[in-house]
Amino acid sequence: MSEQNGGETGAFLAGFILGGLVGAAVALIMAPSSGMDTRKQLKDKGLELRGMAETRLDEARKRADEVAASARERAEHAAEEARKRAEELQERGRVILEEQKSKIQSAISKAEETAAEAAPDGEAPAA
């Protein structure tokens, strides 16, 4: 949505500047002055407007660079957080796996002991 507003604002500013240029040119042409004076005024005004446009363009580029750097920084931060979370989950999985292995081995040992106690002397318990 912000991209749409930025595009609309840019289009408005471009139209505004273009309208201003056309209006200034028409006003200078219609004004009662010599051709040389009019051409000089048009040239001066054109240079002034060109300078303003270059300034605005530089400002827009700087702002775009700032936004890109900010987005890059946020993406890197999010990736780092995701990596940390994945490592935490992996470690928790290892701990749970080890606990379950221990429980299974304990249950097997108890079952073997119970089977050995229940078997008559000298006979091997049935598998």
Instruction: Break the chain into its structural domains and give their ranges.
Output: 17-114
Distance of CA 100 to the CA centre of its chain: 41
User: pTM for the full model?
Assistant: 0.45
Range list of H helices, 1-34: 2-30
For 33-43, what is each residue's pLDDT tens digit?
Answer: 677 877 888 88
Tokens of 53: 């446009």
Per-residue pLDDT, 1: 43
19: which 2 tokens? 């309208």
Which residue matches tokens 């048009």? 42
Spell out the residues 6+ positions from residue 33 whose beta carbon is closer than 8 angstroms to its own: 41
* Tokens found for residue 33: 């002055």
d(CA 99, CA 65): 51
Q: Are 57 and 64 in contact (CB under 8 A)?
A: no
Rounded CA gap, 103 and 106, in Å? Answer: 5
pLDDT tens digits for 28-83?
677 666 778 778 888 888 888 888 889 999 999 999 999 999 999 999 999 999 99
